[in-house]
Amino acid sequence: MRPRDSAELLLLAAIWGASFLFMRIAAPAFGALPLAAVRVGGAALLLAPLLLLRGGGSALALAWRPVFIVGCINSALPFALYSYAALSITAGLASIFNATTPLWGALIAWVWLRDRPDAWRIAGLATGFGGVVWLAWDQASFRPDAGGMATGWAVLACLAATFCYGLAANFTKRHLGGVHPLAIAAGSQVASTIALAAPAAAAFPAVAVPPIAWAAAAALALPCTGMAYVLYFRLIRSVGPSRAMTVAYLIPVFAVAWGAFFLGEQVTAKMVVACAVILLGTALATGLLSRQAPVQA
């Protein structure tokens, strides 16, 4: 990748790592669906005028159907799922499960786009998902805790969200390859806002949401979604979906650090080892690690 692409990948990881922190702060006050709606609605308010000012409305109009689908599977649904997960598991743990995004992307590309993996990539898929099972084994309880939450459903929500991310990246590659990243980013947030409006309104809390939760939601909407998706879709276009999804390697580093520093979350040895196993499997599954010897100049 070019230095600019690498810098944008690192910046994106830091921003998305912070999103797990902000969800932990805001989700208990808003609830899952309202928080997801506020997040995409704020991002849409930022991105849509910017798109129109740059004359990109016509590009969005031509591709509105696939953009709407991307909005639902890359924002509306996974944001709601992660907001739900944030009610009962730590930011660091949720971010580690988020690292399975490239695994799902590689698996979906194999099944759907006939991007057939070699033996090492298949081994990577097995290794990565094995790490997920090991990490989730003692984290996933389907018995409600004192607060009425069950961590097992939170873990499943994280994995369902990452499946959506992997599906969306491959869908974008197949149907939106020639569309400007800003049009995809803005259109997908408008689409997500439309999709979430009614259920979020029905579930919006009856009591006043505290200012700290509104501040966290604003941070989710603007830098963590609006700015971040412009970077993400630009990376998909410039380096491809598989490499763009490698941002998931870096997100846990930032998310664990933010959660430990700002929320005092505990980082266990098992979390570190399991994260390493998942990332190793992901690196193999996406071809980042290869048996091929480097070509000598």
Q: Does residue 290 lie within any of the structural domains?
A: no
Residue 148 per-residue DSSP state: S
Q: Does residue 295 lie within any of the structural domains?
A: no
Using CA atoms, how far apart are residues 288 and 119, in angstroms rounded to an integer?
14
Using CA atoms, how far apart are residues 216 and 21, in angstroms rounded to an integer?
9
Using CA atoms, how far apart are residues 39 and 189, in angstroms rounded to an integer?
9
Q: Does residue 201 lie within any of the structural domains?
A: yes
pLDDT of residue 296: 36
CA distances from 223 to 9, 43, 113 (A): 14, 8, 32
Q: Does residue 207 lie within any of the structural domains?
A: yes
Domain limits for position 158: 3-285
Are residues 185 and 264 in contact, defined by beta-carbon separation less than 8 angstroms? no
Q: For tokens 């799902």, what's the residue?
A: 104
Q: Using alpha carbons only, what angle is made at residue 220 by residues 200 and 239, rounded to the nearest 5 degrees?
A: 115
Q: Does residue 105 lie within any of the structural domains?
A: yes
> In 10 A of CB 98, how many CB atoms?
26
Count: domains in the chain:
1
Q: Does residue 17 lie within any of the structural domains?
A: yes
Q: At what angle do helices 211-221 and 32-53 cross, to 10 degrees?
A: 50
pLDDT of residue 19: 94
The rounded average pLDDT for each run of 10 residues, N- to C-terminus, in the chain (297 residues) is 81 92 96 97 94 88 93 96 93 87 85 78 83 72 58 90 93 87 92 96 96 96 90 83 75 88 86 85 73 41
pTM of the model: 0.84
> In 10 A of CB 203, how many CB atoms?
15
pLDDT of residue 3: 80
H-helix segments, 54-144: 57-62, 64-71, 77-85, 91-98, 101-112, 119-137
Are residues 129 and 100 in contact, defined by beta-carbon separation less than 8 angstroms? yes
Q: Does residue 294 lie within any of the structural domains?
A: no
